[in-house]
Amino acid sequence: MPEETPSTNPFQATSSKRKVKDRIGTVIFACFTYFVLACALFIFGKITYDGAPVLFTSEAPFINTKFFTESPQTLVEFTNGAGELIRMDQTDFTVFKEENPDVTINDEHTFSYSGGGIAGPLVGTALLVLVCMVVSLFIGVAAAIYLSEYAKKGKLVSAIRLAIMNLAGVPSIVYGLFGFAFFCLAPWFPVFTYEVNAETTIGAFKIPLTDGYLSFQGWGNSLLAGGLTLAVMALPVIIAACEESLKAVPGGFREASLALGATRWQCIRTAVLPYAAPGILTASVLGVTRVAGETAPIMFTAAVADKAKMPWQDAQGSGVFWFSDMLTQSVQALPYHIYTVSARLPAHEAINDMRYGSVFVFLILVVGFAMTSVVLRARYRNKLKW
Amino acid sequence: MNDSSSTLDSADAPEVASNEPIISIDNLSFSYDLGSTNTLRDISLEIPAGKVTAFIGPSGCGKSTLLRCLNRMNDLVDTAKVTGGSISILGQDINAPDVEAIELRKHVGMVFQKYNPFPKSIYENVAYGLRVQGIKNKSVLDQAVEESLQKSALWDEVKDRLDSSALGLSGGQQQRLCIARAIAVKPQIVLMDEPCSALDPIATARIEELIAELQEDFTIVIVTHNMQQATRVSNRTAFFYLGELIEYDDTSKIFGNPTRKQTEDYVSGRFG
């Protein structure tokens, strides 16, 4: 008769020392992972907690529309005769004083850019992103097509790839300075203008039948210079993403197309690009979203803290002059606005609404764009199976 | 009707007398690395028009490489180079400086190992080759699509869903679609690079039947791993080993009574 036979079990649990070590290892790795999660949660939580009340109101329409329709202006804080602390925008304050000439105003303080809303910065960032997107998509797709479809593999192409990769590692402030020198100051970019900047221009040509000039005076601190600086910065990411999307198109399509007598360009246009396009687009949105959040590249090239009108309202002339003037307007931009209210103003409770409100809106925008492109990419990947 | 069909005929190509070879390969050497090592060495063979010629041999023997030399698909490899000898198709040296690969490929079509229809409609797949040649006339395209699909024995299966995606077809149907796509541009020669290796036996049988039918209109060169397939579909067989042509003869001779010992060893299954 067999006894109790634990000894015959070849898989019998042994020394627990190894298991303890295994357990400790697991816990340590898990801790680091959760640390990252905790950081992310803290950022989102804190900003939502402090920022959401600025955006949402308890009464209909439940959204603080003023925050989206007005541009930043000076905030005034004072205590009235009854000792109540009151804050209002500069324009409202002027009206208030006119209507109540007798009111007691004590402890009057002003805070620049902390009142009003963020319409100007929102519009500015949207325009910068638009310019950046158009330019970087165009150049990026062209470069990626050349690199992955046309260029012969060799030292030159490897060198180009290396250079592009290094471009991705250049600090954003360096891009800012580059953009400032190359696009803003350098006297080689043409503008249509009524006023020639005599200091920088190397040539200005009177355009017949108008009062304007085609002047090579550089673009100055402008939408165009900022958008292009951002585009240069987004290029490495976009080129890499495009190349990846092009490579993901099966080689069989190219072979089949070429074997039917297609030229290289016909092959790319009809048998490669259509199937790479969704990937290129979503990856590019992701790349542009990243650079759209940068402050350093635009602080010398495009952004100003204070600007009363939208670029199209400030632009002079009509037709091509108007368009040129609009593109060479300086703009407000959301990241720069956040930098201004957070870093260049003293810490004060009165500014907190503007700070957290702006950051919250910015975070929603960037996360929204990133998520949309990731979801779109996943959807296209599932759809296009070959 | 007559008009449109004549546009599709390769009227501009010279006619070949049936006893003359349509392809002659003369002492061809070919390298994938600019001449450091020759993948093909001193290959000479003549492929007759209107017949099916099979290239057989173990993996890496160069049979696919030779096939891809015939429509200059190897141009896609930057470091590929013909290091000696020549290939003449329809009497013209195809590596001559004034020959354009794009024009050559209109006359020498190709079907690949892995069926690779575009993720377009069935119609657009077949019409692709004509569209890249600039043919826009709807009735010409319609006729060519129908004709090609009929020749590739696919018409009855797909005529009601020409606008649906080609990727919805079965593997065998997709490969027949690729054949239809290749023959739609009316090449004289169709190269097939192991066209059945990704297919099941039933689909394979249908492709083989198709090859027999296509033989009437096209010269077919087929690379195959499957020796039974070579005996079933081909008139002539070339056996390659390590980049060299070992033996080239009528298929019945190669499989029945080969001259060289290596050939006999291979076809009898002693190696490879």
What residues in B contact A153, CB-CB < 8 Å? 78
Dig out the tokens for A218 from the structure.
Answer: 């550089």
Residues A150 and A52 occupy one common structural domain: no
Residue B155 in domain: yes
Structure confidence by residue, pLDDT tens digits, B36-75: 899 999 999 999 999 999 999 998 899 999 999 999 999 8
Task: Give chain A's domain count.
Answer: 3
Residue B35 in domain: yes
CATH number at residue B124: 3.40.50.300
Residues A111 and A133 occupy one common structural domain: no
What residues in A contact B182, CB-CB < 8 Å? 259-260
* Domain ranges, residue A144: 119-185+220-383
- Reply yes or no on whether the pLDDT at B4 is more than 50: no
Residue A346 in domain: yes
* Residue contact B132–A256, C-beta within 8 A: no
Task: Give chain B's domain count.
Answer: 1
Residue A199 in domain: no
Q: Distance between the two ends of chain A, CA-based, in angstroms?
A: 64
- Reply yes or no on whether the pLDDT at B248 is more than 60: yes
SS3 category, B234? coil
Whether A148 and chain B come into contact, CB under 8 Å, resolves to: no
For A221-280, give the DSSP string.
S-HHHHHHHHHHHHHHHHHHHHHHHHHHS-HHHHHHHHHTT--HHHHIIIIIHHHHHHHH
Structure confidence by residue, pLDDT tens digits, A231-275: 999 999 999 989 989 998 999 999 999 999 999 999 999 999 998
How far apart are the C-alpha atoms of A36 and A115, rounded to whole Å?
35
Residues A144 and A262 occupy one common structural domain: yes
Residues A224 and A277 occupy one common structural domain: yes
Dig out the tokens for B24 from the structure.
Answer: 């002659």
What is the number of helices (H) and of strands (E) in chain B?
Answer: 11, 10
Residue A5 in domain: no
Residue A4 in domain: no
Q: Closest residue of B to A266, CA-based?
A: B132
Q: What percent of chain B has pLDDT over 70?
A: 93
How far apart are the C-alpha atoms of A92 and A75, rounded to whole Å?
10
Residues A140 and A282 occupy one common structural domain: yes
Whether B73 and chain A come into contact, CB under 8 Å, resolves to: yes
Structure confidence by residue, pLDDT tens digits, B189-232: 999 999 998 899 999 999 999 999 999 899 999 999 888 999 99
Dig out the tokens for A369 from the structure.
Answer: 């764009």
Whether A139 and chain B come into contact, CB under 8 Å, resolves to: no
- State the greatest distance between any 2 C-alpha atoms of chain B, in Å, as a whole number: 56
What pLDDT score does A378 carry? 81
Residues A307 and A260 occupy one common structural domain: yes
* Residue contact B116–A250, C-beta within 8 A: yes
Residues A313 and A326 occupy one common structural domain: yes
Structure confidence by residue, pLDDT tens digits, B118-134: 999 999 999 999 999 99
CATH number at residue A273: 1.10.3720.10
Residue A205 in domain: no
Residues A38 and A131 occupy one common structural domain: no
Residue A308 in domain: yes
How far apart are the C-alpha atoms of A287 and A146, rounded to whole Å?
20
Instruction: Please list the residues that pair with A86 across neighbouring strands.
Output: A78
Residue B162 in domain: yes
Dihedrals φ, ψ of A293, to 5°?
A: -85, -5
List, as ranges, residues 152-171 from B with C-beta within 8 Å of A. 167
What pLDDT score does A152 carry? 83
Q: Closest residue of A to B100, CA-based?
A: A261
Dig out the tokens for A132 from the structure.
Answer: 């950046």
- Which residue stretches of chain A have pLDDT < 50? none
Residue A213 in domain: no
Whether B226 and chain A come into contact, CB under 8 Å, resolves to: no
Whether A158 and chain B come into contact, CB under 8 Å, resolves to: no
Whether B72 and chain A come into contact, CB under 8 Å, resolves to: no
Reported pTM: 0.81
Residue B183 in domain: yes
Whether A384 and chain B come into contact, CB under 8 Å, resolves to: yes
Residues A148 and A281 occupy one common structural domain: yes
* Domain ranges, residue B142: 4-267
Residue B272 in domain: no
Whether B32 and chain A come into contact, CB under 8 Å, resolves to: no
Q: Which of A57-61, B143-147, B148-152 has the lowest mean pLDDT?
A: A57-61
The single-letter code of the amino acid at B162 is L
Residues A102 and A140 occupy one common structural domain: no
How far apart are the C-alpha atoms of B181 and B201, rounded to whole Å?
22
* Residue contact A261–B178, C-beta within 8 A: no
* Residue contact B178–A256, C-beta within 8 A: yes
Residues A262 and A159 occupy one common structural domain: yes
SS3 category, B22? strand
Residues A27 and A43 occupy one common structural domain: yes
